[in-house]
Structure 1
Amino acid sequence: MTILKTYFIFLLAAILLLAGCSERSKLPDMRETYSYKDTKPFGGYVAHSLVKELYPQKILNINKKSFSDFRAQTYIDSFSLYVSISKRFYCSKADAESLIEFVNEGNTVFISAGIIDSILLDKVYCEQANTDWVNRMIEQRYSPGSLSANDSFKYFYHPFINHFSVVDSVSGKELGWNEAGKPNLVVLFVGRGRLYLQCDPRAYSNYFLLTDNNSNYLAQTLQYLSGNPGNLFWDDHYNRKNYREDGGGNSALAILFKHPELTMAFWILIIMALLFILFNGKRKQRIIPIIKPVENTSVAFTQAIAGLYMAEKNNKTIADKMITYFNEHIRNRYFLNVHSAGKDFAQTLSKKAGLSFESVQALYNTIGQVQLSEEVSDFELLSLNEQIQQFYKNRN
């Protein structure tokens, strides 16, 4: 009852704590989704709307498929512009090849992502600096950040530190830089088309574009793109994918390790499991009391009964009991009928017991004499007992 009461108190305290937390004002959702419908600080609603305003005569088509599926299922009869904004841009080898082929045919692709898959970057001879560990260290520190293209643009949040460490000097050109002067917006000329890569997608978030005149950053970016594309496509696939789709990188652990929070939780779980095994390897249980084995009281019982008979000095009764127990032993061990205890019986028993015929015959002669006597002396009782004990001692 006491344990139940304790649990009830803890449950009540937890409910009151949750109720108190619910009264607090909710903080804004700072997840980076870049969805074209998301109006949260790091959604893509504003960027999507500005692109539609820039091309009022065009339909901005939403693509929810991987790029290879998009190419296979979409008929394109004129020059097109494809825009993708996501926190991470992970693609399969087939997607990367299809995208490069799409650009090579004369189309324009614009990709903005904090992490751009190396499968795609390798095909255009570019490399992105590994700043993921720095982002994790400063993810709780807010400070003024700035970008520059033709003009400089500022906001107050995590600083812009992503950049490209290698850009193909033959087919590539730097167009924008972060506050450290490192390139974060480049264009690559592939065949008859252009591939624009930008590695700080927060610059196209609702929060950034609605700060001061930062919407001009998107306008300047779009000025680099084609002035009058025949088709417009807005990607709504890669902003919802955090792992590759090439079969080798979509295992359960591969997906888990793509998320820093899940990775940390996984290792904490492993460490806790090891500690539990280390400190709780021995099973906890009540001390088992030592139970003494049941004593064999048959000897004590026999001694007690014998004492009673000896107290009465009834040697005849004792001798009869000894003979009865002995015959029962012969019957159970050697399967012989003791009621026909003649010469043949003695001969058979001597062979089975491994004793001489004379000793067996002498024993049964003594047994016969005792059975015929009305009284048994102490000497006769001791003689019978000694012969029976010798039989037990020397038999097979």
Structure 2
Amino acid sequence: MSKTFKIYAVLFLVIAVLLGVLELSKKEVIDWRKNFDINQKSPFGLYVFDHEINQLLNNEVTKSEKSPFAFYGQNTKILPHNILLIQQNLDKSSAEKLLAEVNKGSDAIIINQHFPKFLEKQLKFLTTVVNYEDKNVLKLTDTKFKNDTVFIDKFPSSNGFYYLSSENEILGKSDYYKSELQANFIKINYGKGHVYLHSEPLVLTNYYLLKPENKKYIEDIFSYLPQRKTVWFVDSKSADSEAASSPLRFILANPALRYAWYLLWVGLILFVIFNVKRKQRIVPIIEPLKNTSVDFVKSIGNLYLQEGDFHDMMAKKSRYFLHRVRLDLMIDTKELDENFAQKIHLKTGKNLEKIKEVLVLIKKSQDPYSSVMKEDLHTLNKILDEILPQ
């Protein structure tokens, strides 16, 4: 074992011990954000509710990541059932589909801090905000539930309902300040079914569900739903259980494993940096291959010039030009007549007289008995470069 490797090993162990000490001494920070995520164990996640809902509703719950609009678009003949939404941004299309199902006999319970204006107008209710400071008590109006309450002591939403029509029924109120009784749980008859609206979704979060005294209140809320199948619409970001249980997601979700993962990568990167820097071979200088194409062209040109065979050079130049006409301009070159000249003129836009002049020279180059001068070759080359530049 080399001395350098021993130094790296010691440094690696020292860093690992320091990170371990820092991790053990670090105080865990509680996430008090209202995420309403079924995979989150933070205070305001829905992890506990997600695991208890089947028992609460007698194992008849189906979760759907799709919006109500997409779900009912694919399930057009579904029997009357219960519908559950918790803290969802309900768009107008989904709300219309949901109300259509309620109209046919389904019951919907929506537990949201805020409700869309379309729903307020359609169901004839209004929402308001009452300042409860930082505390609130929720109770139910039915006398048989009079002892079942929930004490909201962390970030109440302070939302409620007012201006209810005669068809609406108040099922629950806020009762922290005796002078202010505010409806927060109402029942609305709609067609053959009913819509239940609750304005405080915090009652379903981990923080409140883990308190035994709150259990009865939650059971009372859902007791208004009939015993039948329930479709729970959840956010796709929180319903992706496969992604949530993936190995990397699991590692990053646990602080100890997350720091171990980071430490592993930092160690590997440092090891590669220090070893590559010392052990890299000298890169040899390789001369690039010399381009001899120009020299070859010059040699061929000098050869023809010395031979003085202008007729042969003119014939080759003519054949190359006709080849390009066939390939680039898509013009047949069998007949070099007036029609051929007109086609080239139309395709290239070049002077017709010069095109006719060059055709005369091309025909001259094709005649093995014609006499070609150096001036003929020069004129041909110049005009061809004007018609079809290289």
Q: Output the TM-score relative to the length of structure 2.
A: 0.49
Q: Which has the larger radius of gyration?
A: 1
